[in-house]
């Protein structure tokens, strides 16, 4: 299938630099009682430092499977996944994942304890330094008054804020986000999209984000890859400018319609 591309001018380009992440002709199969199931089929793309790449597609398009392979949790059946030119073999601190599920925190540790423990283990900080940085990051995500709260006392949105604070505090080369806001109510989801965008732009973080929401993809991403329904293949690529990202703008509407065509109709508009 040919890939249609809708590209808009951006302030800068990383095309001349070596990519941080390379996904080369990756296929991922699963063995089932009925035979081999192909979740991802011959997907290739590159991600450069400072980009926020969003994978979007219908259920069964393999986007979460692909993200987990990049995280090192699933081995590709075909092709290669490289970070800084080296093959990915297992999970590592250079890739930090925020999942959709709310149970990704240690239930016996407070919000502060969860982030501090990750810093002590992941970045080998002293307890005092880890606590100072944990407090700072939790405050930055709006949880300064909930440092001593345990996960079972926090709302879904607050738990995700702790997980996001922990991810940013670890300073990974690549942030992996698997539909982290999907289970939240619409108002909280929109607020957290804006907060995540602000954090990424402030820190210059590189992120790979999975979602099935077109509006979320436009708000969060600098680039969007649309995957077909099962098995997941690349259908279209879109570049998002700062003007396009403004909800309600003409550019936002054009992108939204084009992505909908690529995801649900199997084709994308050309510009």
Q: For residue 56, what pLDDT is reported?
A: 93
**Domain identity same for 261 and 129:** no
* Residue numbers of the domain that contains 114: 104-171
CA distance 70 to 65: 9
Q: Is residue 21 part of a domain?
A: yes
Give the list of residues 6+ apart from residue 177 with CB closer than 8 angstroms, or none. 97, 98, 196, 207, 208, 209, 210
Number of domains in the chain: 2
Q: Which two tokens stand for residue 58?
A: 């219908």
| Residue corresponding to tokens 């077909």 | 228
Q: Are 230 and 61 in contact (CB under 8 A)?
A: yes
**Domain identity same for 67 and 180:** yes
**Domain identity same for 142 and 231:** no
Q: For residue 210, what pLDDT is reported?
A: 94
**Domain identity same for 185 and 259:** yes
Q: Is residue 222 part of a domain?
A: yes
CA distance 28 to 38: 6
- Which residues in the chain land under pLDDT 70? 1-16, 102, 264-271
Coil, strand, or helix at residue 270? coil
**Domain identity same for 180 and 76:** yes
Q: Is residue 99 part of a domain?
A: no
**Domain identity same for 180 and 80:** yes
Pairing label, strands 174-178, 207-211: parallel
CA distance 216 to 194: 10
Q: Which two tokens stand for residue 253?
A: 């509407």
CA distance 127 to 121: 10
Q: What is the pLDDT of residues 205-225, one digit of tens each?
A: 999 999 988 999 999 999 999
Give the list of residues 6+ apart from residue 119 with CB closer than 8 angstroms, or none. 125, 129, 130, 133, 134, 169, 170
Q: Is residue 83 part of a domain?
A: yes
**Domain identity same for 85 and 210:** yes
**Domain identity same for 129 and 41:** no
Q: Is residue 213 part of a domain?
A: yes
Rg over CA atoms, the chain: 19
From residue 211, alpha-carbon distances to 14, 30, 37, 55, 57 in Å are 24, 22, 22, 6, 7
Q: For residue 11, what pLDDT is reported?
A: 39
**Domain identity same for 180 and 271:** yes
Q: Which two tokens stand for residue 95?
A: 């890739």
Q: For residue 271, what pLDDT is reported?
A: 34
Q: Which two tokens stand for residue 76?
A: 């590709």
Q: What is the pLDDT of residues 61-109, one digit of tens each?
A: 889 999 999 999 999 999 999 999 999 989 988 999 888 776 789 999 9
Q: For residue 14, what pLDDT is reported?
A: 55
Q: Which two tokens stand for residue 37?
A: 């199931």
Q: For residue 174, what pLDDT is reported?
A: 95
**Domain identity same for 184 and 139:** no
Q: Is residue 202 part of a domain?
A: yes
pTM across the whole model? 0.85
**Domain identity same for 186 and 244:** yes
**Domain identity same for 27 and 60:** yes
């Amino acid at each position: 299938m040919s890939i249609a591309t809708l590209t808009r001018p951006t302030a800068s380009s990383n095309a001349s630099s070596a990519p941080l992440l390379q996904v080369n002709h990756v296929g991922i199969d699963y063995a089932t009682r009925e035979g081999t199931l192909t979740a991802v089929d011959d997907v290739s793309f590159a991600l450069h430092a400072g980009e926020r790449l969003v994978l979007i597609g219908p259920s069964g398009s393999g986007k979460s499977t692909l993200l987990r392979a990049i995280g090192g949790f699933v081995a590709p059946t075909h092709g290669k996944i490289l970070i800084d030119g080296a093959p990915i073999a297992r999970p590592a601190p250079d890739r930090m994942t925020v999942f959709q599920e709310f149970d990704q925190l240690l239930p016996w540790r407070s919000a502060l304890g969860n982030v501090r423990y990750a810093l002590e283990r992941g970045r080998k900080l002293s307890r005092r330094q880890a606590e100072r940085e944990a407090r700072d990051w939790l405050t930055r995500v709006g949880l300064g008054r909930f440092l001593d709260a345990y996960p079972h006392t926090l709302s879904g949105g607050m738990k995700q804020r702790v997980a996001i604070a922990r991810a940013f505090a670890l300073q990974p080369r690549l942030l992996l986000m698997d539909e982290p806001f999907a289970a939240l109510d619409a108002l909280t989801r929109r607020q957290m999209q804006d907060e995540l965008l602000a954090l990424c732009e402030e820190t210059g973080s590189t992120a790979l984000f999975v979602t099935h929401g077109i509006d979320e993809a436009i708000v969060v991403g600098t680039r969007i890859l649309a995957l077909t329904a099962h098995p997941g293949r690349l259908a279209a690529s879109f570049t998002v400018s700062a003007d396009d990202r403004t909800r309600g703008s003409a550019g936002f509407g054009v992108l939204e319609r084009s992505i909908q065509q690529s995801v649900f109709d199997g084709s994308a508009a050309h510009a």
